[in-house]
Structures are given as structure tokens and as C-alpha cells.
């Protein structure tokens, strides 16, 4: 059975914007994907709330993508789905677009160095909406975060093309919850899984 690693942040983990809990397996996109695959693939869920891609998260290695990724890469996968980067736009990190591109590119390099034959699917996150400024996450994200989120899609697409990865622009598929402008309702998780299945 082929193995798929789903490596990402809270939207991969299945964060529920309605109450802060985790969606059940049938409601988060990783679990929905598993059902759609009809047991043809083993889905390894590796999502973590507040995980960054490349910024050094003070919460530790588990929350810092480039640091924890090597632990997952000790095992073999046929496909790696990468859905990470939006937390790097938190106002505490505030990377330039150039720093953002370098950070995402270094993660792809790390995967390719581990195994150049991996199939990689890069998910570009949807834009953060203004609703976040009235949510519990207003202390983490600001107007600059919102504006930068609208500028990073071309970065993901460029890297995907350069490193022979498949690319999925979530802006064309889903919109964040009105509750926090960052996380997805169940219907959006379904759309993500249905879009990914077409790339497998």
C-alpha cells in the first residue's frame, strides 16, 4: 500500500474554528482523503496547531516545520503533501517575501535531498481575511499578515515548478471561516480532500 505523508499546520491537524477542538476523522481533510482513497493509500497525518514552516517557533521543535520534518523523513513515503507556511506570517516573525521564499524552498530541498523521487504536492494557503482581527488570533496576526498572505501564492507556485512538485492553490477552492478568517469549516475540508484526490 502506498503511503502519503500529510505534513502541515492546524488546518492539516483539523482545527475547528467553532470551538477550538479537533474535527473528527470524517470531518478533517486528511481523514476525508483517507475515505476517498478507499484504502488504496495509507494516510499519515502530521498536522500540528501553530506549526511554522521555517520560523523558529518558541514552543519548540514539534512546532517548527523544518526542525521536526527530518523525524518524519526517517520513514519512506510515496507522496508528501505539504500544507504549511501561514503561521510564519504571524507578526512575531514578520518575514520579508524573500525570506519566506527561501524558507519554503529550503523545506522542499530537505525533502528532495532525503529522496529525490518523492512525489510532492504543495498546497498554497488561502488568504487570511479581515475576520481574524476580531478573533482569538488577533494577537498573533495583524494587517501586515493579511496583506502578505495575498502575496505568497506565486512563491509556492514558483517553487513547485522549480522542484517538479504538483501545486494546489487553495484560494481557488476554499475560503476561511468567518469566525476567525484562518481556519476552515467542514465543507471546506471536503473540498480540499476532493481536490487532492485528483492529483494522486
pTM of this structure: 0.96
Q: Residue written as cell 482513497? A: 37
Across 171-197, average pLDDT: 98
- What digits encode the pLDDT tens for the residues 107-147? 999 999 999 999 999 999 999 999 999 999 999 999 999 99
| Band (39; pLDDT cuts 50, 70, 90) | confident
Smallest Cα–Cα separation from 5: which of 138, 98, 123?
123
Q: What pLDDT does 80 receive?
A: 99
Smallest Cα–Cα separation from 98: which of 51, 159, 57?
159
Q: Where are the domains of the chain?
A: 2-197
| Mean pLDDT rounded to a whole number for the chain | 98
Q: What is the DSSP letter of 59?
A: T
- Alpha-carbon gap, residue 9 to 99, rounded angstroms: 19
Superfamily per CATH, domain 2-197: SGNH hydrolase (3.40.50.1110)
Amino acid at each position: 500500500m502506498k503511503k502519503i505523508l500529510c505534513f502541515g499546520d492546524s488546518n492539516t491537524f483539523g482545527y475547528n474554528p467553532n470551538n477550538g477542538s479537533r474535527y473528527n476523522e470524517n470531518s478533517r481533510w486528511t481523514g476525508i482523503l483517507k475515505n476517498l482513497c478507499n484504502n488504496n493509500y495509507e494516510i499519515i497525518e502530521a498536522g500540528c496547531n501553530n506549526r511554522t514552516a521555517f520560523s523558529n517557533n518558541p514552543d519548540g521543535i514539534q512546532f517548527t516545520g523544518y526542525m521536526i520534518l527530518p523525524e518524519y523523513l526517517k520513514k519512506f513515503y510515496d507522496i508528501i503533501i505539504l500544507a504549511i507556511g501561514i503561521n510564519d506570517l504571524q507578526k512575531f516573525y514578520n518575514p520579508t517575501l524573500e525570506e519566506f521564499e527561501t524558507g519554503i524552498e529550503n523545506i522542499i530541498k530537505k525533502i528532495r535531498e532525503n529522496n529525490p523521487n518523492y512525489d510532492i504536492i504543495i498546497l498554497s494557503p488561502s488568504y487570511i481575511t479581515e475576520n481574524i482581527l476580531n478573533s482569538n488570533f488577533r494577537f498573533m496576526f495583524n494587517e501586515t499578515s493579511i496583506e502578505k498572505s495575498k502575496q505568497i501564492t506565486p512563491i509556492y507556485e514558483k517553487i513547485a515548478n522549480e522542484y517538479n512538485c504538483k501545486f494546489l492553490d487553495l484560494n481557488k477552492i476554499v475560503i476561511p471561516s468567518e469566525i476567525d478568517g484562518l481556519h476552515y469549516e467542514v465543507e471546506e475540508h471536503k473540498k480540499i480532500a476532493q481536490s487532492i484526490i485528483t492529483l494522486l
